[in-house]
Structure 1
């Protein structure tokens, strides 16, 4: 796709959405954006080539002006508002419209909204991302994609403008499910890493060497490799993913456990610990700040 093609709709210019939409512009796509923040709209327009960025007053106007619409929104409740609310996407949905939900939504809700769009001849794909704000800025996110071949063929160029690893996961809703389960596994590893570091500290061990041992041994995980020394031992606590968003993903995994009837006891523990951390530290601190809760005991 290029500036000669129709614009890509983009709703949600937040911490991840803004750099992702900038990547679309940088790769020659025109963007028709919608966000309630004046500052976010100004940031997208700043430095953009003439004619590459336009703004719509509401989601319906985005759907009316673009055949492919990306959503990068905080949760399923807000996605439903954007879809079903006054002047929402459904109000302007038509045959051929493709909506790509790139946030971390609940799989069951994703399937429900996909059904509503299908009734109007439109389609929805789920394409949540993995990676930090830094990767969003460079267009190197990992993107999981749920949807059929026809929808993927239309979405692929847009997705590749924002990510380098595209993983197809199956039917609509499967990508949101896999994202939530992946983040549960990450959270469990991060919690174990934080507790191991705290015990090592209490023993007077060299935490840098402990990290080296874990990374050279069976305890290695993404938290030991990219968070232990860089964010926790350093005291920086700035890994690029908010504590509240981690709790939201754990709650989504919890809804999957409830739906499937799986007694996920470790998931329940992680949800409890993250809820405690959010209550004590607030949702906006970095997810690695769970270590602060571990240190308090």
Structure 2
């Protein structure tokens, strides 16, 4: 596939809030990089730095040793991987396909089965850390697939992430990401309610975040998104509508496993309300809108 000492050619599909930074780190590490995005202009900066813009995902797959995808929804993943011009059909024998979208564990397993028939390896490798982690190259990357495929991918993962772990077979990366999103969902409720209470009590939110954040309630979400809630800064690091999608996947998997997750159900309902009210393109910290006295404080009812 590659000569000894030669870096693999990487293909990257999906240059959104996180993907563009992730692809940039791969390029900065010296890998030959081919890119594709439905809005081609989002690739301009990478192309100016030496990346090759592919005309179609299939063309990209045919030219690369490793293909990485990070798109919006499971339906987008399915459309990319299957079909006569899909990644599985067009990829080289012996290629490695890595889906870093937060998607369905079942879909990850289906991709692995179909790709194996064509002599292609796959990994599901969703990430956590948002736009900040993507820009810094410090994402957490949770991976499902074979140890051999993980070993091939690890040098590429290390350009984008700081905590990288093989969690099990195909689908295990997605299951781990669901656990991550479940933890975030209820924590976002707690942070929003904590700050709403503090503000109603007449406290200074910056001081509350500093003091409370130094004790047992310390968390990345309180320290990182709490100040944005206080400032009513709802610019996206991760879209509300994508989080609703993730929670829907997690609830479906929980139902299949016979689990009752009332905290997750409540969080999904509240975030869906934000989507219904037109805030789906904002960041997940926009949950504070529902508790904000300045914004009508609709609350959890």
Q: Distance in 2 between matches of 1:271 and 1:124?
A: 30
Secondary structure of the 1:115 match is helix
User: CA shift at 1:205, angstroms?
Assistant: 2.7
Q: Specify the alignment match of 2:198 in structure 1.
A: 200
User: CA shift at 1:218, angstroms?
Assistant: 2.9
User: CA shift at 1:245, angstroms?
Assistant: 1.7
8 Å CA contact 1:105, 1:176 repeated in 2: yes
Q: Specify the alignment match of 1:144 in structure 2.
A: 142
Equivalent positions of 1:134-173 (< 5 A) are 134-173=132-171
The answer to whether the aligner puts 1:276 opposite 2:294 as a matched pair is no
Q: Specify the alignment match of 2:214 in structure 1.
A: 216
Measured against aligned partners, the alpha-carbon deviations of 1:206-250 in whole angstroms (never above 9, x if no partner) come to 33333234323333322222221x211122233612211221221
Unaligned runs of 5+ in 2: none
Secondary structure of the 1:145 match is strand
Q: Distance in 2 between matches of 1:215 and 1:11?
A: 37
Secondary structure of the 1:241 match is coil
User: CA shift at 1:4, angstroms?
Assistant: 4.0
The answer to whether the aligner puts 1:244 opposite 2:237 as a matched pair is no
Secondary structure of the 1:146 match is strand
Secondary structure of the 1:161 match is helix
Q: Specify the alignment match of 2:42 in structure 1.
A: 40
How much is the aligned-residue C-alpha RMSD, in angstroms? 1.9
Per the normalisation by structure 1, the TM-score is: 0.92
Q: Distance in 1 between matches of 2:30 and 2:247?
A: 36
Unaligned runs of 5+ in 1: none
Aligned residues: 292
Secondary structure of the 1:169 match is strand
Tell me: CA distance 1:211–1:93, structure 2 relative to 1, closer, same or farther (3 Å): same
User: CA shift at 1:24, angstroms?
Assistant: 0.8
Q: Distance in 2 between matches of 1:196 and 1:175?
A: 31
Measured against aligned partners, the alpha-carbon deviations of 1:73-127 in whole angstroms (never above 9, x if no partner) come to 1121101001113411122244312100111111111111111111111121011
User: CA shift at 1:59, angstroms?
Assistant: 2.0
Q: Distance in 1 between matches of 2:145 and 2:121?
A: 9
8 Å CA contact 2:65, 2:92 repeated in 1: no
Tell me: CA distance 1:223–1:239, structure 2 relative to 1, closer, same or farther (3 Å): farther
Measured against aligned partners, the alpha-carbon deviations of 1:28-65 in whole angstroms (never above 9, x if no partner) come to 0111112222211212112x1xxx42122222222211
User: CA shift at 1:194, angstroms?
Assistant: 0.6
Secondary structure of the 1:227 match is helix
Equivalent positions of 1:10-29 (< 5 A) are 10-29=12-31
8 Å CA contact 1:3, 1:28 repeated in 2: no
Equivalent positions of 1:1-297 (< 5 A) are 4-46=6-48, 48=49, 52-228=50-226, 230-238=227-235, 240-295=237-292, 296-297=297-298
8 Å CA contact 2:72, 2:101 repeated in 1: yes
8 Å CA contact 2:145, 2:170 repeated in 1: yes
User: CA shift at 1:130, angstroms?
Assistant: 1.1
8 Å CA contact 2:25, 2:160 repeated in 1: yes
